[in-house]
Structure 1
Amino acid sequence: MKPNFSLRLRVFNLNCWGIPYLSKHRADRVKRLGDFLNRESFDLALLEEVWSEQDFQYLRQKLLPAYPAAHYFRSGIIGSGLCVFSKHPIQEFTQHVFTLNGYPYMIHHGDWFCGKAVGLLVLHLSGLVLNAYVTHLHAEYNRQKDIYLAHRVAQAWELAQFIHHTSKKADVVLLCGDLNLHPKDLGCRLLKEWTGLHDAFLETRDFKGPEEGCTMVPENCYVNRQELEQFPLGIRIDYVLYKAVSGLYISCKTLRTTTGHEPHSGSPLSDHEALMATLCVRHSPPQHNPSPTHERSPLISVLREAWAELDQGMAQGRWWATIAGYVIGLGLLLLALLCALAAGGEIREVAVLLWTPSVGLVLGAGAFYLFHVQEAKGLCRARAELQHVLGRAREAQDLGPESQPALLLGQQEGDRAEEQ
């Protein structure tokens, strides 16, 4: 690699809000999205909420000349909604479906049926290995009473772990997606601290878009303004995150977002704003990081906070499983009583009428019990991983700062040095 090596990468990310039969003007927006991507000719276009595979196939054909490589990540009942279009050949791809993803009985939210996941594709660009990840975490719905907080923290931890374990041979790591996390939320801090990823909005010196980088703004006609009452400027839940290994330096030269409308037609492409980042990868990084905004937050504090949240969620899951167990027991007693009454001939008609709803009660409570047992085990697994990492973090703290990079973060520089 030449000392003056430089790689420019243009990236596009958008939550497309492509729910069949429910999202307004979906077909028209998909068509205009294809026109926009063809005009701009990004290196990578990473999309979320493309729930219809027909929409993906339409975009696949329309974008084929400019983006010859593409992949649709399939999971769950409805699908992950994740897809990617690339100007460069895709060497490898895989995905990881999150263990926890909401509740199946919350049908009106629907996240459980989507099988939300993180998709990975590996590209080889100018001799560098680029790991690009696209993801979509569970929605928040109610910030004051967030019943999905533990699930979203667990998803953030799984996402961080997946990136940590799959990017050890990568030169550059890129993560784009709708995290459904505000910048200071626990899940977002946990993800950044454990992976070492940099936030393009915080790092760039050339940003053009809504104030504070918001990606859901009241100016967008598709946004429910009641959901933004506490946030008059909007909220930032969509991200472009990145990092490079030792010996390389990556920076965000420019970051653009739409501002409630698509620049060419004037109509919004989605209820989210699109992110357009220009990244530059260079050899021989400078002695001093030009970005004074990035400081390492206390990892131990974030790990403790995440552990406590998962512990609380696990206790809640076990409580619901216990309640369901009691309902199952009462239902079985009721069934036994009904059988006795029917066999004895006493009020036989009433016993027969009550038999079907009683069976339904037992089966429903049984499904409820099994789900929350599975939920508690999933949270317990994530909590155990966090507890182990927290122990290592405390160990590193006791040994001093020189030992912390190897024990705490397991940064790719150390991993690659060990391999070599």
Structure 2
Amino acid sequence: MDDVPSEISVLTLNCWGLKYISELRRERLAEIGRQIAVADPEPHIVALQELWTQEDYRSVRRQTRHKLPYAKFYFSGPFGGGLAILSRWPIEESTMFRYPLNGRPTAFFRGDWFVGKGVAHARIRYGPAPKHVVDVFNTHTHAPYEHGPNDSYLAHRLAQAWEMSKLLRAASERGSLVLALGDFNMVPLSLEHRLITAHAPVRDTWRILHPDSSVGPADHPPERARRRPIPTAEFNIRENGAASDGPYNTWRWPKAQQKRLGVGKPDLPVSPDTIDSRGKRLDYVFAGCGDVAALGGGWVVSRVSVGMMMRHPELGCSLSDHFAVEATLVFHPLDPANAPQPHHYNHAADKSAAMGLTATTTTTTNTTATANTPSTPNPRQQPLHQEKQQHPDDGSTILDDKQDDALHNGTYLQSPRTSSVRGPHSFDSQLLAAVRSPVEPLPASAYDEVLAATRWYAARERAQKRWRGAHFFAAVAAAVGAWVAVWFSPHNWVSFLLMLLLGSLGLVAGTVDGLLALLFFKSELRALREFEWEIVNAKAALAAAGGGPPVPVSDDDGHDDEGDNRGW
């Protein structure tokens, strides 16, 4: 094994590798592998999503194995979870966690249930000491096919964020450096996002360096409430981290414009000043600090950017319908005067903090600076690179004192060049904030929102269960009636065949619905009941920690074992 690294670079990318569906899949995946192999800075850990086939996985491995010799392709569900982790260092352990709530088999045209989505975990050792370990969690949560107050998949994403937070919290309590990478299908500061940062001591690396970045596309209500101008494509990439749905990605262009790309056809560059009202951030790198007491310091964020923006050198198309998110963590020593006690990560106070019970947060101010609008990049050759002035001591970027805050001087659509090494993004500030306030607590109202979404969805699924159960019994009655009627038309072959056929087909359809009601919907309702109990319990713990009267939580909540009475 190499010497203990002082920095760790990670990359996460949704590869859009749907077999028979994703266009130019083989060519794009092969180029993705080549670009990962030559990436600068060189990634040490790579998390890939929507890498569905062994063929594509082997294609990526052929290109990357000399740089990332250790790798794991994860198997899940009838068609696979589409997850893979590549590493420079050995993978000591590996687990695939299936989400208890993950779509519906009735929505077969969406496929989330059939691929068995979950969390791919790899325990990676980067050094000889007991705490020289990275616990990497890679996920692709349920897609947000619906929007608004009647989003029937919101409960699934909330439950998945909750499950992820529990895994992250457990790994953090063991003292590992924790990384959560992937396509989370959520926008920043959404309820799902806050569940993760409130219940696990991890930070959204993008918001550490860009605390005033957008919280969704321009038409997203919370983003509209910020009253910011609609950003340009360049600003959305550099400052908002919008790796999805932006105009730089050719797979988001109209079909007529996509047809202008191809072998031997000229480049179609995108102006950095193009207004981008749809770009958003769905892909994340969440990171912990590691065991600060045991290591004498922790891991802080020195760089985060959108990557893999180059186009295919021959086909001219983007390599995926997402861009990558890249981050570099640097180990930073902690001043002994601020160091926690050796038992810090197992202390009851930290466990309460990880449960969202702390009331103290570290407030930071946003300090950014303006820069000239960058020139148009070569779309086939290079991603966008932010110019940096290196700090002489730790490699961080510094701020020109003559530059004003872009968010207050009317130049919001331009990209700030750097952030202050002496400001809220400094390594010391990051580490102290992570030690003193390891989580971002949720108010009780947030738990009420989770419970409201869960109960609304549970009521919907109970209605579906009843309807499908009724369909089964109606189909049985209709089939019996048809078969009896057959005996009264022995000489009328048309009637005989119609009644036999309709009765049999109706029974088959009813049986399918009956099995769904008996197996899937009951299982789903039980998982929802477990999720609700955990949320109610967390809310009760929050009330007790805040000095309020404790809210009793019991298994005996008036629901019967079948989950059909009194709301279940």
State whether TM-score is above 0.5: yes
Cα deviation per residue 1:204-243 (whole Å; 9 max; x = unaligned)?
26999344111111221112679xxx97150100000011
Amino acid at match of 2:279: G
1:234 is matched with which residue?
279
Equivalent pairs counted in the alignment come to 393
Match of 1:213 among 208, 228, 241: 241
2:34 is matched with which residue?
35
Between the aligned partners of 1:225 and 1:97, the Cα distance in structure 2 is 36
Q: Is 1:93–1:121's contact at 8 Å kept on the other side of the alignment? A: yes
Match of 1:365 among 513, 518, 536: 513
Match of 2:523 among 365, 374, 379: 374
Between the aligned partners of 1:120 and 1:68, the Cα distance in structure 2 is 17
Q: Is 2:210–2:239's contact at 8 Å kept on the other side of the alignment? A: no
Deviation at 1:302, TM superposition (A): 2.6
After the TM superposition, which residues 400-419 of structure 1 pair with which residues of structure 2 at under 5 Å, given as runs? none
Cα gap change, 1:46/1:273 in structure 2, threshold over 3 Å: closer, same or farther?
Answer: same
1:108 is matched with which residue?
109
Between the aligned partners of 1:184 and 1:285, the Cα distance in structure 2 is 31
Equivalent pairs: percent with the same residue? 26
Amino acid at match of 1:170: G
Amino acid at match of 1:113: F
Between the aligned partners of 1:24 and 1:252, the Cα distance in structure 2 is 35
Cα gap change, 1:113/1:234 in structure 2, threshold over 3 Å: closer, same or farther?
Answer: same
After the TM superposition, which residues 274-313 of structure 1 pair with which residues of structure 2 at under 5 Å, given as runs? 274-284=324-334, 287=338, 290-291=429-430, 296-313=440-457
Amino acid at match of 1:136: H
After the TM superposition, which residues 21-420 of structure 1 pair with which residues of structure 2 at under 5 Å, given as runs? 21-40=20-39, 41-126=42-127, 127=129, 128-144=132-148, 146-204=151-209, 209-216=237-244, 217-223=246-252, 232-244=277-289, 245-247=291-293, 248-258=297-307, 260-262=309-311, 267-284=317-334, 287=338, 290-291=429-430, 296-343=440-487, 349=496, 350-370=498-518, 371-398=520-547
Deviation at 1:192, TM superposition (A): 1.4
5+ unaligned residues in a row in structure 1: which ranges?
Answer: 401-420
Cα gap change, 1:163/1:296 in structure 2, threshold over 3 Å: closer, same or farther?
Answer: closer
Between the aligned partners of 1:398 and 1:68, the Cα distance in structure 2 is 52
Deviation at 1:70, TM superposition (A): 0.4
Between the aligned partners of 2:76 and 2:177, the Cα distance in structure 1 is 26
Between the aligned partners of 2:173 and 2:279, the Cα distance in structure 1 is 36
The alignment yields a C-alpha RMSD, in angstroms, of 3.0
Deviation at 1:134, TM superposition (A): 0.7
Between the aligned partners of 2:12 and 2:311, the Cα distance in structure 1 is 14
- Report the more deviating stretch, 77-86 or 332-341: 332-341
Cα gap change, 1:285/1:24 in structure 2, threshold over 3 Å: closer, same or farther?
Answer: farther
Higher normalized helix content (fraction of residues): 1
- SS at the partner of 1:383? helix
Q: Is 2:198–2:440's contact at 8 Å kept on the other side of the alignment? A: yes
> TM-score of the superposition, structure 1-length normalised?
0.85
- Report the more deviating stretch, 164-173 or 211-220: 164-173
1:409 is matched with which residue?
none
Higher normalized strand content (fraction of residues): 1
Amino acid at match of 2:544: E
Between the aligned partners of 1:352 and 1:204, the Cα distance in structure 2 is 68
Between the aligned partners of 1:203 and 1:328, the Cα distance in structure 2 is 54
Deviation at 1:158, TM superposition (A): 1.4
Runs of 4+ in 1 over 6 A off after TM superposition: 205-208, 263-266, 292-295
Cα deviation per residue 1:278-320 (whole Å; 9 max; x = unaligned)?
1112232685862589983434333232122112211111111
Larger Rg computed on CA atoms: 2
2:410 is matched with which residue?
none
Deviation at 1:184, TM superposition (A): 2.5
Q: Which has the higher contact order (CA 8 A, sep 6+)?
A: 1
